[in-house]
Amino acid sequence: MEATQQTPHIVMVPTPGMGHLIPSIELAKKLILYNNISITYLISNDGSSLEPQKEALQALPKSINAIFLPPVSFDDLPEGTKIETRIVLTLIRSLPSLREAFKDLKERSNITAMVADLFATEAFEVAQEFGVLPFLFYTSAALDLSSMFYLPKLDETYSGEYIDLPEPLKLPGCIPFQARDLVDTLHDRQNEAYKWLLHAVKRYRMADGIILNSFTGLEPGACKALNEDWPGFPPVYPVGPLIRTISSREDEDGSECLKWLNQQPRGSVLFISFGSGGTLSHEQLLELAYGLEMSGQRFLWAVRSPHDLASSGAFFTVKSAENPFYFLPDGFIERTKDLGLVVSSWVPQIKILNHSSTGGFLTHCGWNSTLESVVHGIPLIAWPLFAEQRQNAVLLSEDLKVAVRVQANEKVVGREQIAGYVKGLIEGDEGKMLRKRMEDLKEAAAMAMEKDGSSTRLLAEIAQILSNNRTI
């Protein structure tokens, strides 16, 4: 343990999944720059491999440590239990071991605060038990956090399914959006996952503050409203964009992608990736391949094996070891070899987005990928699949106007439609307008993280609050 008894020590409590751990790590790396803070992660274990988490945490400075808690059992849960339910239960069932680890740390170090993930609000009771500040880290957009603030009232005032609401939702400072674009978990109020999410959201008020991975230059209206128009909720600190930096793995891997990009004209390549958890049906995968071929545009595609029952392969659901190339159209690789590169392994996304040849990104609109696109100024084709991605797509396409959204009115988006989106983004007039607006956001993101930028100032303020175990 690097910390002394006097060094302010912060405990970070993430929940399973790299999508939430990655921005949490970036937050930790920022916080240790202030006030000689040290940090320990308490990692709950759902029983799946923790190698990705261990790899990410082992590469951190010595003042950031991790304790991996014993795995919990899900033998009593029925098959098909929603991801959100399992995430929350992982933390709840880890509470005894988390409490013991916290107690041990408290005896050996000066713990001043706990920062818990948005699904880890049960851990607040441990923070209060040991007299330290409970903070929440919200890893998505201000628009998404606004909908969570509104959820308890919506639950009380509307008895039906939200997808049947006749009017758009109009939240303070946010663009109006249809209820069908709410996070997946809210589409079935009878499911246990809905009840667990509502339970977690009601506990947000227990936090002394909420750290938000967005920034005022990206969502000015929503960020302002979160602190002015939601009485009873804790103050919100937009400190983003917190995104991955280039890792040692990116220096070692991905050379094939980068060598290929080096040979392409500036701004000519569409990067296609649905993230580590996004999956398409086999039929949709075929249509995407044919659409890319029809477009005649250059592309770099990180392809995954299809799955016909789930759009989310993240966490606990889809585990396919099959070669995704097997599912592509016959002859596709050969026919497109002069235009495209298809890879089935991990790709260095940050380096790809930062490459001068990359002119667009077809994305599932996960918030990490969204912020990475903003930081690097890459316009988007928004193809949301699950979680809060439809809300992100609304923000990107209708509010910020840096993306064209795929209109999936039918079960499968056709190849002609896909070809139109791709061609329009890379060489069309609409693509030029999207690119210009994204360049403006890129500049705003850089300003937020400058020495006197809005996010930097708030990070310094949060570090002081967490170090002193008191609100300012």
Same domain, 342 and 366: yes
Predicted TM-score of the model (pTM)? 0.94
Instruction: Please give the structure tokens belonging to residue 232.
Output: 């009873």
Same domain, 255 and 229: no
In this structure, is residue 396 part of a structural domain?
A: yes
Catalytic option among 9, 46, 117, 144: 117
In this structure, is residue 1 part of a structural domain?
A: no
364 in active site:
no
Cα separation, 307 vs 282, in Å, equals 7
Q: Which residue has the higher pLDDT, 148 or 314?
A: 148
Label residues 50-79 b or e (16+ Cβ within 10 Å = b).
beebeebbeebeebbbbebbebbebeeeee
What total of structural domains would you count in the chain? 2
307 in active site:
no
Same domain, 400 and 456: no
Give the pLDDT confidence of 170-224 residue by residue, as tens digits: 999 999 999 999 999 999 999 999 999 999 999 999 999 999 999 999 999 999 9
Cα separation, 223 vs 406, in Å, equals 27
Cα separation, 275 vs 235, in Å, equals 31
Q: Which residue has the higher pLDDT, 34 or 437?
A: 437
Mean of pLDDT over the chain:
92
Q: Which of 235-244, 275-284, 441-450 has the lowest mean pLDDT?
A: 275-284
pLDDT at 249: 52
Give the pLDDT confidence of 411-437 residue by residue, as tens digits: 899 999 999 999 999 999 999 999 999
Same domain, 258 and 128: no
In this structure, is residue 2 part of a structural domain?
A: no
Instruction: Please give the structure tokens belonging to residue 282.
Output: 């086999």
| Main-chain dihedrals φ then ψ at residue 403, nearest 5 degrees | -145, 150
Cα separation, 29 vs 142, in Å, equals 22
Same domain, 285 and 211: no
Looking up residue 310, the CATH number of its domain turns out to be: 3.40.50.2000
**Domain span at residue 83?**
8-240+451-468
359: exposed, middle or buried (Cβ count in 10 Å: 0-12, 13-18, 19+): buried
List the strands of the sheet with 380-382, edge to edge.
340-343, 298-302, 269-273, 358-363, 380-382, 403-405
Give the pLDDT confidence of 250-305 residue by residue, as tens digits: 455 568 999 999 999 999 999 999 987 788 999 999 999 999 999 999 999 999 98
In this structure, is residue 288 part of a structural domain?
A: yes
Give the pLDDT confidence of 347-395 residue by residue, as tens digits: 999 999 999 999 999 999 999 999 999 999 999 999 999 999 999 999 9
Cα separation, 49 vs 243, in Å, equals 23
In this structure, is residue 3 part of a structural domain?
A: no
Same domain, 186 and 272: no
Same domain, 253 and 398: yes
Q: What element of type H or E holds 284?
A: helix 282-295
Same domain, 205 and 270: no
Share of the chain above pLDDT 90, in %: 80
Catalytic option among 20, 307, 355, 364: 20
Same domain, 140 and 171: yes
Same domain, 216 and 346: no
Same domain, 261 and 360: yes
Same domain, 85 and 201: yes
